[in-house]
Structure 1
Amino acid sequence: MSQRKTFRFRTNSKLEKLIGRELITNNIIAFFELIKNSYDAGAKRSEIKFINVKNYVVDNTKKNKEYFVDGRKVNMDEVLTNNDSYIIIEDNGQGMSFDDVEKYWMEIGVVHKELIKQIQLKDDSVNKMYNRILNGEKGIGRFSTDKLGSQLEMTAVDKTGAELTTVFFDWDKYNDHSLLLQEVEHDYIYESLATPKKSGVKLKILKLRDSWSIKDIEELKRQLKKFVSPFSQEQNSFSILFSLNDNTEKIINDAFEYSLTSIEASIYSDGLFKYNISDNNYSSQEYNNLAPPAFGPITVKIIYMDAASKRSFTKRTGLSTREYGNIKVFRDNFRIFPYGEPENDWLNIDNKHAQAVFRSLGTRDIIGYVQISNLENEGLKDATDRIGLVEDTKEFEEFKKFIWRCIELLQNHVFNKIKKEAEQQGNIISNTIENRREKEATFKTEVIKVLKNTQMAKNDADKIIGLIENNNKELQKDLNEMKKANIVLNKKIKVFQRITGTEGMLIDLLHTIKNKTALLDSKLNKIIIQNPEIKKESHNMKSILTTINKMLDSALRKASSSRLVKKKEILSDIILESIEENSSICSENNITISHEFKDNHQRVLVNRESIKIVFDNLFSNSVKALKLAVDKKIHISTKHDQGIIEIFFQDTGSGINQDDAPFIFNVTFTETRGNGLGLSTSLDIIQSHDGDISYITFPEENEVGACFFIKLPIEG
């Protein structure tokens, strides 16, 4: 006869190790878990102390920091701990009574914090009570001490200050897997205090499992900076102190104070979206109504790091912006890992930056945070492995989309600002050139007057010389001003290049696609007009479309951190392809193309599509410059000399004004009513191939048009 009975799970002692040193992946996470427990206990201060270790001194006066132990210069691998070293983590929270220790601390996975999600604390500065949201939920954070050391002395004073309980843990007892978890015993001492003490918990961790070097200590302090809330108004409500023996310092999160450009945004439960873009003395606040967020109300701050901000940030924190991370997530002022870590691009910022998103910022250009709450963001739940949030939910996807909305608002502001500043510097150059021309005209008029009204006596000759000298001084002054403006302009453009793509501007691709579109229009027009030749023309059109597709496919490579793939190519073959692709639009404009190759089919190490971009830009400029010419010709010639292939691209168009010649490779310069990007892009491409491109004049005075001189090194 069958009889129904019951089984019960037993817990092997191995579980302690699974939820302790094996679950906690590194020492930094262990400290974070223990500090979080202090926060949840209502502490306003948590202090980490390394005792019985070597003291070291940091010399920050040198370009590279230097470290000294007992006056001896050492490297960062110098070990500071020894067998007698120990760690103390101490807080001034509400502490625990004996009953609390027995009921909560000694029970794994206790539900206490699930039932009590917030506690009330007194703000002494304003004599008011405020709520603190609790972070821990799983009831296993205390086992992080096992990650740091094999022995623990836990001392707790309850909130009345009348009870002191000390428990002694030897975590290695759990290595005996023949025991059940509840069979492992720990000694304790209970004391009723006649004189009350301040409440709190003190964890003394002995027999450290790892040796701690200067590098480890510095890394811990750097990481602790990131654990504290970035909200300046919240930093006084909970602080972290760090001590090396008797040397104590306060950990300050000041990571967001070095940039002038940022966006602060909030979305409320009803969908009200409020954001403010700040930029030095500029501020713009906007309101929008969106759908109520499924993820709940949140606050976002994202900061744009320009070159000056990055230098200041690195100087003060010892980290580059990339090493620091990007957009971090805080739940009630505490970090949720691993979001925003250096290698955790959880928002796919760099991926979008690489995928032909023309006006975009990368992870090295923005840092910031998102603030969520246990009470108001129930849809954003912690993952069961204690790392991150549950991500396969509708709430998490909408959460990311909202953050991207904020990123896009900021990057639009940044790019528009850079463009405006670049245009202003370009206007300075243009205005200075015009002023110079007027002065030259006045100078010539004065000289003519003098020559007409004098027999060139000595005094008059001196007057002419004086005019010339004064004019030269003015000329030098103007040229210096132009030079300064040009430097500023180029700096702006370099910033633009770094932001837009790590290996070159994505603008060049868009510029080339525009040229290709013009070619395609020309082809289509010709096919329509000359219907019998559709088959013949379609072959060329397919070639053009193939080229466009190749360039689009190469966009990711152009924007990625690795260089474009370069291969040995016959340069004259590349030029012939460009001639073929541009032949239709040239024919339509009655332009004759000729070529003369004397490079003996030498090879060059290039990216084929990039070099074709250069020739497409030159063809496009020539077609525009030849609009009003009578004899419309483009001639391309090559020769090789001492390991270099020289290319001459010449047309008979309107040419380039000598006053403008020094500036033609600057972004925004144009004489053809284009966007001023072609020649700047061409220079970048040629220089990335260890070559050079320049504008040259003709030795014969009767020659007209423009000539560009390109040099590329021969490969092998």
Structure 2
Amino acid sequence: MDEQTEAEPHLFFKVSTALKRVIGRDLITDDLVAVFELVKNGFDAKAQRVELVFEDDRLLIIDDGKGMSLDDIERKWLFVAYSAKRDGTEDDGYRDRIGASRTYAGSKGVGRFSCDRLGRLLKMQTRRSSEMVEVLDVDWQDFERDALEEFKDVGVAHSEATHFELPKGVDAPKSGTVLEISGLREPWTRDKLLRLRTALAKLINPFGQTNDRFEVIIRAEAEEKQDAIERRNWAGEGTALSVVNGPVANFIFDTLKDKTTHLEVWLSEDGKELHSVLTDRGAVIYEIQEPSEFPLLVGSSFRCNLYYLNRSAKATFARRMGMPSTQFGSVFLFKNGFRIFPIGEMGVDTFRIDRRKAQGYNRFLGTRDIIGRIDVSGSDEVFRESTSRDQGLIETPAYQQMDICFDTKCFRRLERYVVGVNWQDQLDLDVDDISRLQGDTAAARITAIVSQLAGTEGVKLVRYNHDLVRILNERSAAFKETLTSLEILARKANDPELLADIGAASKRFDELQRAEASAREAADRERDARREAERIAAEAQFRAEVSTSRLEEERKRNLFLTSLSSLDRETVEILHHQIVIHAAAINEIINGQFDRLRDGGVPTADDLFSVLENISFQNRKVLSIARFATKANFRLESETIDADIAGYIEDYICEVAPMFSEAGIRIIVSSSATKLERRFKPIEVAILVDNLVSNASRAEATEIKFTLAQPNPRELLVSVEDDGRGFPAELDLSRVYEKGFTTSTGSGLGLYHVAQILDGMRGAITAERRDRGAHFTIRIKG
């Protein structure tokens, strides 16, 4: 029995011609994916250029790669599922013209059967340099006659030619391959060609970071007339994806870097460290490096670029690309320089971004909010593409680590900044510069994020933005908290100069707090003593004045009254108390400096400027209260009130400001605003108006106009324009809000205080040049 077993011959598999359909049309169910595969084959053949030519019933895919000899065709192209790229023999005997390090986009050995998906007939012309053109003619239907027929028994016609046979106007490459597919299975309409162009734009490095020179060009003569119309309609913009003909290219991402928030994360060459740089509209926020926690990514050249799309960036994208960003896609995955389909497509949530966003409103980013790219390189053993070609990558251990790295080191860090900084300021969503980040409120948020990151174990802070991560004004609500964050950062960065500045700022803050507390105590004592002395003598008369009719009149009156005699005793007392508080605060600040000088302390220029700025602000409050006391009867029982800010500003400008404006300047107010209820400090809003009027007067204006409008129920727009000297041509307008900056003989604090007040109100001010005078736009959210 044993002898008989040994004598029996081996059995062998036979391959049915039906395999062609299994790995062709049945496997590749989308024409765009089929074109992807054939373009990728051109890339792998070292082509610098692939041209797609569409005619009535045929499609030509022409590359200028290394081409194939007859031996290559027999040993490789006709060998089903064999991949010379996978076994490392693809480059034998070929000197790479582009770069020896170029990796391969595919390695499954079945991409050639994409031709079957596209059309019934294939004519392949190919040659190596200085050799004859080898020609194959394939009728894919020959493989479908009988499923019992073996694959190897179906012949493929072969011939030779001296030159490539190409359509008129198409240049023949010196070497390369031409795939002429006819008997197309589906028509290529304009809409389908545009979808192909969009898909190819995402397939071939849309972020412009490859070192390989690789170009894809589409030619469709039948669409040239409509393309010309599109170019005229878009006037040079938005044509990237709205015309069919021409090179497939993307220029949008370099543009986006300066218009929105961008995070780039990459693995060092040795794979031991992760580097991260966060920029916001062109300004570097921070750069860090940390040990990599992902050993399986060593050698993968992992790199991730993520962009947050604010409203400005989305508008730019649509204008330049001719389509909304949501239709373009979200986070794409590229392996060896080519896109893995369908990751990043609209509605494909590979990285669970939208699933997480659904867990809370306004807490998480979604795929509609971001666009980006992950790059990895490596063999199929490390990052294995699904054979079905439209299922992304198989979840190998390396893929799982890449997924975690993207989620924890890339996406969530961008999300924390965007949600914690950009989303906290509704006005910031519409601007494409960092003007909204320069106020104390945004600086406090940025400082908290950077300091927390710097305090993370193992994280090294390489650099950070000193203009945005900074010491705030002592009056800022977040001053104390920010000092603590800055101290952590300074110690981590080993920055003794910053530590010294923090100490000085802390001392100034304590002095200011003591001065304000002392001032309030003094004012309270003075008020209590006066009240007690007057109580007995005035009690009867005071009660008689508070009648029912007067109480009703008080409820109905406007914020401002036109007669000084209508001020009641209580209002005068409140105004007097407020003046005492701020005057006493000024006195305490000055006395504090006297004490410091007596003790031998010499203030620095920064210390002195800070002290004078605080005195100036307290003095402006006194002036504003004095104006109220003379003209207004506004309820000042509380420093902060809930009221209609639109009505308050209009009333103040109409009734109070003109009485105290500089001599010779006319104040005009026009309002179409209805009502915007919100919390605000009336004295600070008064200072805002007064400072703008004062600035106009110093610029020799004879007239200043305030125009109030409401673009929506939750926003107030105040346009301020004067007929003064305006801004010098050489002046950087972003500097006019800097503390101490002035173009006149003033202190340089007026517009600084205006910007500071608005920042605390979630508002904004922007300056514009006009032919005559200065123009400001103020936006306040409800």
- Given the two structures, how large is their TM-score scaled by the length of structure 2? 0.51
Partner of 1:77: none
Q: 1:144 aligns with which of 106, 114, 127?
A: 114
Q: Which residue of 1 aligns with 2:277?
A: 276
CA shift for structure 1 position 336:
0.7
Which of 47, 66, 71 aligns to 1:94? It is: 66
Cross-structure match for 1:361: 365
The answer as to whether partners of 2:63 and 2:173 remain within 8 angstroms in 1 is no
- Cα offset for 1:104? 1.0
Alignment of 1:285-684 (within 5 A): 285-296=287-298, 297=300, 298-356=302-360, 359-375=363-379, 378-405=381-408, 406-418=410-422, 421=425, 424=439, 441-443=625-627, 467=659, 473=667, 478=689
Q: Which amino acid aligns with 1:173?
A: D
Q: Does 1:252 align with 2:249?
A: yes
| Whole-angstrom CA distance in 2 between matches of 1:401 and 1:475 | 58
Cα pair distance change 1:94/1:393, threshold 3 Å: closer
- Provide the residue aligned with 1:535 in structure 2: none
* Residue 468 of structure 1, CA deviation: 8.3
- Please tell me whether residue 176 in structure 1 is matched to residue 145 in structure 2: yes
Instruction: State which drifts further: 345-354 or 357-366.
Output: 357-366
CA contact (8 A) 1:96 1:157 kept: yes
Q: Which amino acid aligns with 1:232?
A: G
Task: Provide the residue aligned with 1:103 in structure 2.
Answer: 75
Q: Is the 8 A contact 1:340 1:346 kept in 2?
A: yes
Summarize the Cα distance change of 1:373–1:464 in structure 2 as closer, same or farther, 3 Å threshold.
closer
Query: Does the 8 Å contact 1:276/1:285 carry over to 2?
Result: yes
After superposition, the Cα gap between the structure-2 partners of 1:34 and 1:434, relative to the gap in structure 1 and judged at 3 Å, is farther
- In structure 2, how many angstroms separate the alpha carbons of the residues matched to 1:19 and 1:464? 83
Q: Deviations over 1:318-371 (max 9, x none)?
A: 332222221111111101112111121111001111223864211001111111
SS at match of 1:210: coil
Q: Deviations over 1:369-413 (max 9, x none)?
A: 1111125x8422222333345544432222111001211111222
Contact 1:149 1:206 in 2 (8 A): yes
CA contact (8 A) 1:331 1:371 kept: yes
Q: Indicate the residue corresponding to 1:646 in structure 2.
A: none
Secondary structure of 2:115's match? helix
Corresponding residue for residue 265 of structure 1: 265
Instruction: Note if 1:161 corresponds to 2:163.
Output: no
Is 1:198 aligned to 2:174, yes or no?
yes
Residues 408 and 197 of structure 1, relative CA distance in 2, 3 Å threshold: closer
Distance 1:378 1:439, change over 3 A: farther
What is the letter of the counterpart of residue 272 of structure 2? G
- State the alpha-carbon separation in 2 of the partners of residues 25 and 117 from structure 1: 30
* Alpha-carbon shift at residue 469 of structure 1 (Å): 9.4
1:97 counterpart letter in structure 2: S
Q: Secondary structure of 1:95's match?
A: coil
Report the secondary structure of 1:414's partner residue. Answer: helix
Listed one character per residue, the Cα deviations across residues 542-577 of structure 1 (whole Å, up to 9, x for unaligned) are xxxxxxxxxxxxxxxxxxxxxxxxxxxxxxxxxxxx
Tell me, in whole angstroms, the C-alpha distance in 1 between the residues paired with 2:387 and 2:656.
89
Does the C-alpha gap of structure 1 residues 417 and 472 become closer, same or farther in structure 2, counting only changes over 3 Å? farther
Query: Does residue 210 in structure 1 map to residue 186 in structure 2?
Result: yes
Contact 2:271/2:297, CA 8 A, preserved across alignment: no
Percentage of pairs with the same residue: 24
Q: What is the match of residue 31 of structure 1?
A: 35
**Shift of the alpha carbon at 1:162?**
1.4
On the 8 A contact 2:384/2:396 being kept in 1, the answer is no
CA distance in 2 between counterparts of 1:203 and 1:361 reads: 44
From 218, 242, 245, give the equivalent of 1:242. 218
Distance in 2 (alpha carbons) for counterparts of 1:491 and 1:131: 58
After superposition, give the CA deviation of every residue in 1:104-161 in whole Å (9 maximum; x if it has no partner): 111101131111277598897xxx8432112221211111111111011100011x32
The amino acid that maps onto 1:354 is A
Of Structure 1 and Structure 2, which has the larger fraction of its residues in strand? 1
Taking the aligned partners of 2:204 and 2:391, their CA distance within structure 1 comes to 17
> Per the alignment, do residues 378 and 303 of structure 1 end up closer, same or farther by CA in structure 2, a change over 3 Å counting?
farther
Compared CA separation, residues 416 and 487, structure 1 to 2 (3 A): farther
Deviation per residue, 1:279-327 (Å, 9 max, x gap): 1231121111133432333111111111111122123333322222211
Say if 1:358 and 1:443 are closer, same or farther in 2 by CA, change over 3 A: closer
Checking the alignment, whether the CA contact within 8 Å between 1:425 and 1:486 is kept in structure 2 is: no
C-alpha distance in 2 between matches for 1:473 and 1:491: 20
RMSD: 4.3
CA distances 1:512-570 after superposition (whole Å, capped 9, x unpaired): xxxxxxxxxxxxxxxxxxxxxxxxxxxxxxxxxxxxxxxxxxxxxxxxxxxxxxxxxxx
SS in 1 for 2:102: strand
Q: What secondary structure, in the 3-state scheme, does the structure 1 residue paired with 2:383 have?
A: coil
Is the Cα contact below 8 Å between 1:301 and 1:369 reproduced in 2? yes
Report if aligned partners of 2:658, 2:666 keep a CA contact under 8 Å in 1: no
In structure 2, how many angstroms separate the alpha carbons of the residues matched to 1:133 and 1:117?
13
Distance in structure 2 (CA, Å) of the matches to 1:437 and 1:481: 22
Residues 191 and 310 of structure 1, relative CA distance in 2, 3 Å threshold: same
Separation of aligned partners in 2, 1:338 and 1:148: 19
